[in-house]
Amino acid sequence: MTSVPVPRLRAAVVGLLATAAALGAGQLAAGLAAARTSPFVAVGNAAIDLTPGPVKEFAIALFGTADKTALLTGMGIVIAALAVAAGLLSRWHWWPGAAVIGVFGLVGVIATVSRPGGGLVAPLTSLVVGVVVFRWLHHVAGMAAIGPGTSTVEVDADRRRFLVTSTLVVLGAGAAGIAGGFLQRGAGVTASQAAVAARIPKVPPLPIPPGADFVASGTPTFLTANRDFYRIDTALVVPQLRAEDWRLRLHGMVRRELVLTFDDLIQRGLQNRLITLTCVSNEVGGDLISTAEFVGVPVRDLLLEAGVLPGAQQLFTTSVDSYTAGTPLDVLLEPDRGALLAVGMNGEPLPAEHGFPVRMVVPGLYGYVSATKWLVDAEVTTFDRAPYWEQRGWAQQAPIKTESRIDRPRAQASVPAGPVTVAGIAWAQHTGIDRVEVRADGGPWQPAELATDVSRDTWRMWRATIDLPPGEHVVECRATDRTGQPQTPQRQPVVPDGATGWHSVGFSCTG
């Protein structure tokens, strides 16, 4: 206790540094305990889980795929503000600030313990370090009772002491945080991926016929490189799961429950499939769509091996970080659907971001009802059980809708008048694309040239040339699938089961 209050700036610094020390220590303890989540990340995940669906969609719409960065930044700001407040509350006594930090530490304990793989060690370390460092720094900050009569020598020595202590705390917290991050990342996944790469038999990759894309005219490449493949998930940090530690339990309404190791799984025989994956949150004209050659074990084979009991309706899959999805069993059991428990993507083991070591992929269904990454549990059950996004108002069944997108010209582009090349993609997974048409300025529709057909489960590129005079123009496109079903012009939002409408692009021609 000090007779003279700690100066405001110092008090704020005490709060900030004690909090930084708590977070750094928590990260290090999580790394040492091989926990899958640090307290900071666990609080972030809890925040995501507690956020109402509409707010989450708003955040995704606002920040796009940077939503996680936005959340972590937001959390950082809130935590820093609380830390400063804790410091300022403690200008006369150490305990109000320590209490704030303690309560916040308890929130961290609750959030971490309620996450799979969280553990108690890291958040408790955070709490204790936060309170102890606060008490200690507060003591150093208030050592010299600065008042009338304090000598300048004393003031100088005091200032130096506080500065040195603060610097030590900053360095310690930073080093602990960085070391903890390394320990968590180096949980052996890179080595495990190398081992998997050697164990995946070299199945000859499916040949992509020439002319499967119109890259020169502005479409994407037919296959999307793994690093460019769109990524959507609720995981704040990428789950680190080694193939050696992986187990899949296939259970529920089955005659015979299966528990498979990674080796058990791939011994059942791998198949290659070209699949275009699409996110239900893809807006008309959006880029949440990519194509890869997946290799894996047919889901149908595993279901037949386990023996699905009558009355079962969905396969309820769960990831190591508790994401859940429900896939209709009638789709998975179709003899030619080609749903896979994938272990590889474009000739490599799955990247960690895309579900290493095992994920599901189902041609023709949006990712949220089918493409569970870091898959560890599959329960054969009825539709009574609602998975993650269904609990938040999204549709239970979500076949991908026939859609098309214009990639060239880009919106607001300026191109020379005359013959203008319009190019893009169209998709109707598991049905296939039959026709794409384009028109300019509401004029007559004209057929586009289609790229070589590769598979009904993948996107199809198209291009057309339209003669345009100088001035402003709008082009539109529409696709028709192989059942003769045209893409609807009716605009629908992404909620609850995927956006529809024609994509249009405005640009200008210069004379």
Ligand X SMILES: Nc1nc2c(c(=O)[nH]1)N[C@H]1C(S)=C(S)[C@@H](COP(=O)(O)O)O[C@H]1N2
Q: Give CA–CA dist 200/193, Å, rounded.
A: 10
Q: How far is the CB of 262 from ligand X (least distance, A)?
A: 17
Angle at which helix 39-50 crosses helix 8-32, to 10 degrees, equals: 100
Q: Is 495 in the site for Mo ion (CB under 5 A)?
A: no
String of contacts with ligand X for each residue 313-352, x by CB under 6 A: ------x---x-----------------------------
319 binds, among Mo ion, ligand X, none (CB under 5 to 8 A by kind): ligand X
Secondary structure (3-state) at 357: coil
| H/E element, 134 | helix 121-141
Q: Site mask, ligand X, residues 193-232, x = CB under 6 A?
A: ------------------------------------xxxx
Which structure tokens are listed for 127? 């709490």
Q: By rule CB under 6 A, what count of residues binds ligand X?
A: 18
Tell me which residues in 398-427 interact with ligand X (CB under 6 A): none
Provide, rounded to whole angstroms, the least separation between the CB of residue 370 and ligand X.
Answer: 8
Q: Which of 307, 313, 405, 325 is nearest to 362 (CA)?
A: 325
77 burial via Cβ count (<10 Å: 0-12, 13-18, 19+): exposed
| CB closer to Mo ion, 279 vs 284 | 279
β-pair type (503-510, 414-416): parallel
3-class SS letters over 184-239: HHCCCHHHHHHHHHHHCCCCCCCCCCCCCCCHHHCCCCCCCCHHHCCCCCCCCCCC
- Give 57 or 476: the residue with its C-beta nearer to ligand X: 57
Residue 44 interacting partner from Mo ion, ligand X, none (CB closer than 5 to 8 Å by kind): none
Burial pattern 406-439, b for ≥16 Cβ within 10 A else e, equals bbbbeeeeebeeeebebbbbbbbbbbbbbbbbbb
How far apart are the C-alpha atoms of 60 and 323, rounded to whole Å? 17
279 binding Mo ion? (CB under 5 A): yes
302 counts as binding ligand X under rule CB under 6 A: no
Mask 235-254, x = binds ligand X (CB under 6 A)? x-------------------
Compute CA distances 100 → 104, 122, 136, 166, 440, whole Å. 6, 19, 16, 20, 63
- Closer residue to ligand X (CB): 38 or 319: 319
110, 87 Cβ separation under 8 angstroms: no
Alpha helices in 311-364 (DSSP H): 329-332
User: Quick check: 279 binds ligand X (CB under 6 A)?
Assistant: yes
Position among 344, 349, 364, 367 found at the interface with Mo ion (CB under 5 A): 367
- 346-375: contacts with ligand X (CB under 6 A): 354, 367-368, 371-374
The one of ligand X, Mo ion, none whose footprint includes residue 462, by CB under 5 to 8 A per kind, is: none
C-alpha torsion angle, residues 282, 283, 286, 290 (rounded to 10): 20
213 binds, among ligand X, Mo ion, none (CB under 5 to 8 A by kind): none
Q: Nearer to ligand X by C-beta: 226 or 465?
A: 226
Please report how close the Cβ of residue 341 comes to ligand X at its closest, in angstroms: 13
Nearer to Mo ion, 457 or 497 (CB): 497
Residues 116-155 that bind ligand X (CB under 6 A): none
Give the tokens for residue 355. 């579900």
Written as one letter, the residue type at 81 is: A
The Cα–Cα gap between 394 and 363 comes to 19
Is 368 an interacting residue with respect to Mo ion (CB under 5 A)? yes
Please report whether residue 94 would count as binding ligand X according to CB under 6 A.
no
Closer to ligand X by CB, 67 or 305: give it: 67
Which listed option, Mo ion, ligand X, none, makes contact with residue 342 (CB within 5 to 8 Å by class)?
A: none
Closest separation in Å from C-beta 469 to ligand X: 41
State which residue has the least CB distance to ligand X: 367
- Closest CB 277 distance from Mo ion, rounded Å: 9
Stretch that binds Mo ion, among 34-42, 86-94, 225-233, 335-343 (CB under 5 A): 225-233
Give the angle subtended at the CA of 404 by the CAs of 288 and 457, to the nearest 5°: 70
Binding footprint of ligand X on the chain (CB under 6 A) = 229-235, 277, 279, 319, 323, 354, 367-368, 371-374
Binding footprint of Mo ion on the chain (CB under 5 A) = 232, 279, 367-368
